[in-house]
Chains A and B, each alone.
Chain A
Amino acid sequence: MKYSILFIFCLTLSLSSCADKDDPNYQYFPDMYESLAYETYQEADIFQNEQEAMLPVEGSISRGWMPYDYEDNLEGYDLAKAELKNPLVYSEENLKKGEELYNIYCATCHGKKGDGQGWLVQQEKILGVPSYDDQGRAITEGSVYHVMYYGINTMGSYASQMSEKELWQVDHYVMKLKAELEGKPERAFETEADNEKENEIETEAEEKEVATTE
C-alpha cells in the first residue's frame, strides 16, 4: 500500500509538470481552436513563399488611399520640397497626435526636441542624425513628408508604420520643432474654415459628417 501511494503521488506530480516551455501545452478537444479561414499572418502551402500575406496588384488603388505622386529620386525630392504642402489643418488636435507619433517613431534618433540627439545617438548606436535646423538640408513640409514616405540614404521609409494622415500629423510637429530650434514665433492654429487646400485627404470632420448623414 505504501508503494502504491507513493506511485500515485509521483504520477500526479509528473503529470502536472508535463508542460514544457519549448512546446505549447496539451489541449483537450480543440474543436474550434485552429482557424479554418486564413488568418492574417499565417503560413499556408498554397501561397507563394508560404506567406499568407500577399501584395496587392500593382497600380490598384484602395478606398481611402491615394498614391503618392512624387518619385523616389532626387528630382522627386526637389519637387516635393518645393511644391508639396501639408493638406491637414494646423490644429491643436493634429499637432498633439503628431507629437505622440513623433515620440514613438522619430524621437529615438532625432531627439524629443528634433536636435538630432535621440537616445540611440547619445549611445552612439546610430550616428549622423542632423538637427532640424540644419542649413544644408533646409527641410520643408514637402521634403519632410517625402523623406518619411520613401526614406533617404540611411533612414528607412515610415510609410509602413504610419498612414498618410499620420505622416502629415508628424510633419506638422516636425515643422513646429524646427521653428522652435530656429527661435521662430509659434504658428497660430488654424480652423477648418480657413483651410482650403488642393490635395485634401479625408479629415476627421468629414468622417463625422458622413457618420451623421448615415
Chain B
Amino acid sequence: MKKVILRPSLFALFFILFSINAHSQEVEADSMATASAENAEAASSVVPGGDPEAGEKLFKSLCAACHKPYERAVGPALHGVVNKYDGDFEWLYAWIKNSQKLIKSGDSRAVAIYEEYNQTAMNAFPQLSNQDIDNILAYVEQPKPEPKVAVADNTAAGGQAQGNQISTDLILAILSFVLLLLVVILYLVNKTLNRFAEVNGVQLKSENEQPKKPLWKAYAENGFLVLVTAVVFLLGTAWFGYGYLMQVGVDQGYEPIQPIHYSHRIHAGENKIECKYCHSSARVSKHSGIPSLNVCMNCHKQISKVADETQAKGEEEFNVDYNAEIAKLYEAVGWDKTTQSYTGETKPVKWVRLHNLPDLAYFNHSQHVTVGQIECQQCHGPVEEMEVMYQHAPLTMGWCINCHRETNVKVKDNGYYTKIHEELSKKYNVEEFTAADMGGIECGKCHY
C-alpha cells in the first residue's frame, strides 16, 4: 500500500522533469526527439517510474508472442491497460507474474478477463520484477506512433527510384534527339554539296552509262549464288523445324498466375525459411506437396501485415498489394483478424500446379531429397529469388537421364548400399557409382 501512496508525488516529479525536457527539446526544434520525449512523457504520466526503452526489450522478447500494444492479438491490446484497472498496479503485478494463481484465488476481475478471452491462459512470468513490469507498462502506454517516418521513407525511396527512371529516359531521349539531328544535318550537307556541283557544272553521273541490270536478275542468273542460298535456306528450315519439334511438350519457363500472389522471394529468400518447412512432405513422400493452409497460419496468425518497406517494394516493382494477398489467405482459412478466431468457413486455395510430369513417369521426391541429398535448387532453380514461381528445368527425359549419368550415389552411411558397394568396388576397382551404374536408367525404374 505504501507504493500507492508514494505514487502521486513520483508522478508529479516525473511530469515536471519530462515537461522541462520536452520544452528544452522543442526549442532545439528536433521534431523526432520531441515526439519520442512526448511519448515517454505520456507513458510516464500513466506509469510513473517506468522506462519505456527497457520495457520495449522485455515486451518484444516476452510479451509480443501474444500481445500487441494497439491491436488485439491472442491476448488483448495492452495500450490503456493501466487506466482500465484504475492504476491498481498491485493487481497488475499479480496478474502478470502468475495469472492462473489469481484466477484460482477467485479474483472477480481475473475470472472475468479469463472468460472474455475464451479461457486462453496467459503464461506466468515469475522472473519479472515490479520494476520490469513498470517498464513494460510504460512501453505499451506510449501513444501510438504516427506512421510518419515510414511514409516519409517510402516516398523518398519512391522518388529516388522514379528519379533514376526519369534520368535514364532523359538520357535516351537526348541521345535519340542528337541522332535525329545528325541525320538531318547529313541530309542538308549532301543537298548543299549537290547544288554546288550543279552550279559549278560538275557532272556527277557519266552520260554514257548503260541501263543497270536489276539486282534480282543478276542474282537469278548466277547459278552458284542460287545454289548457296538454297542450301542455306534448307539448313535454316531444318534447324528451325527441328528446334520447333524439340520444344513441343516442354514447359520450361511456364509461369501461371496463381490465385494468391505468393512470393518465394520473400519467404525463402529474405526470411530464409527452409524449403522443407512448408514442403515438408518432400522428405518422406513421393509428392512434395503444396503446404496446407495450417502451415501458412503457423506464422501468419501473427503476421497480418507485411513490413512497410516490403509493401512499398511490392507495389512498385511487382504491382502487388501484399497485405491484400494475406487477407485472401485469411478468407480461405476463415480467420477473423478482429476476434482472432477461426470462423469455420473455409475454402481451399486452388493453386496452379506448374511442374507436371505425364502420368506414365514415376518420380519420387523423398528418394531424391532424403536419400540422394540433392539440393532443391538443382532441379527447381533459384526459387529463393523468384517473385513468381516458374519452371526452371525442362523436366524432359533427357534431362533426367543426364543427371543420372553424372551423379554419384550417396553410398556413405546408408546401410542399404553397404553390401553392393563392397562387392562392386572390389569387382570394378572403383569407389563411386553413378545412378546409371546402379540401374538408374532402366525403363522399369521410372516407367513401371
- Given the known A-B contacts A24-B356, A34-B359, A126-B303, are A41 and B287 also in contact in the complex, defined by CB atoms under 8 Å? yes
* Interface pair B271/A40, CB less than 8 Å apart: no
| A198 / chain B contacts, CB cutoff of 8 Å | none
CB distance from A19 to the nearest CB of B (A): 6
Given contacts A22-B257, A123-B271, A136-B126, contact A27 B292 (CB under 8 A): no
Decide: A25 and B274 in contact? CB cutoff 8 A. no
| Chain B stretch 67-84: residues in CB contact (< 8 A) with chain A | 67, 73-74
Contacts known (A5-B233, A156-B301, A160-B294); A19 close to B247, Cβ less than 8 A: yes
B240 at the interface (CB under 8 A from A): yes
Q: Which residues of the other chain, A, contact B62 by a CB distance below 8 angstroms?
A: 128, 130, 134
Whether a CB of chain A sits under 8 angstroms from the CB of B154 is no
User: How far is A46 from B302 in the complex, measured between Cα atoms in Å?
Assistant: 36
List of B residues within 8 angstroms of A151 by Cβ: 298
The answer to whether B251 and A136 have CB atoms under 8 Å apart is no
Contact between A51 and B348 (Cβ–Cβ < 8 Å)?
A: yes
- With the chains together, A134 CA to B233 CA distance in Å? 77
> For chain A, which range describes its interface: under 10, 10 to 19, 20 to 34, or 35 or more residues?
35 or more
The distance in angstroms between the C-alpha atoms of A40 and B270, with both chains bound, is: 31
Shortest Cβ distance from B276 into A: residue: A104
**Within 8 Å CB of A51, what residues of B?**
348
Judge if A137 is at the interface, Cβ distance under 8 Å.
Answer: yes
B22-30, B117-125, B167-175 - the one binding chain A? B117-125
Interface membership of B256, Cβ < 8 A: yes
Verify if A61 is at the interface (C-beta below 8 Å from B): no
Query: What residues of chain B lie closer than 8 Å to A8, measured between beta carbons?
Result: 237
On whether A161 and B295 interact (CB within 8 A), knowing A19-B247, A137-B123, the answer reads yes
Pairwise interchain contact A41-B290, C-beta atoms closer than 8 A:
yes
A162 within 8 Å of B by Cβ?
Answer: yes
Which B residues lie within 8 Å of A39 (CB)? 359
* Pick from B64, B247, B257: contact of A128, CB under 8 Å: B64
- Would B294 and A24 count as touching, CB distance under 8 A? no
Q: A154 within 8 Å of B by Cβ?
A: yes
With a CB–CB cut-off of 8 A, which chain A residues contact B360? 32-33
Q: Which B residues between 230 and 262 are near A, CB-CB below 8 angstroms?
A: 233, 236-237, 240-241, 243-244, 247-251, 253-257
A52 to B323, CA, bound (A): 30
Q: Which residues of A contact B303 (CB under 8 A)?
A: 125-126
Which chain B residue has the least Cβ–Cβ distance from A119? B272
* Residue from the list B123, B256, B294 in contact with A22, Cβ < 8 A: B256
**18 residue pairs from A and B, CB less than 8 Å apart:** A12-B237, A25-B247, A25-B249, A25-B250, A26-B248, A32-B358, A41-B289, A104-B277, A105-B280, A127-B61, A128-B63, A129-B65, A130-B62, A154-B65, A154-B74, A160-B292, A161-B277, A162-B280
Q: Which 5 A-B pairs have the closest CB atoms?
A: A128-B65, A127-B64, A128-B64, A156-B298, A12-B240
- Using a CB–CB distance below 8 Å, which chain A residues touch chain B? 2, 5, 8-9, 12-13, 15-16, 19, 21-28, 30, 32-37, 39-41, 43, 49-51, 74, 103-105, 108, 116, 119-120, 123-131, 134-137, 151, 153-158, 160-163
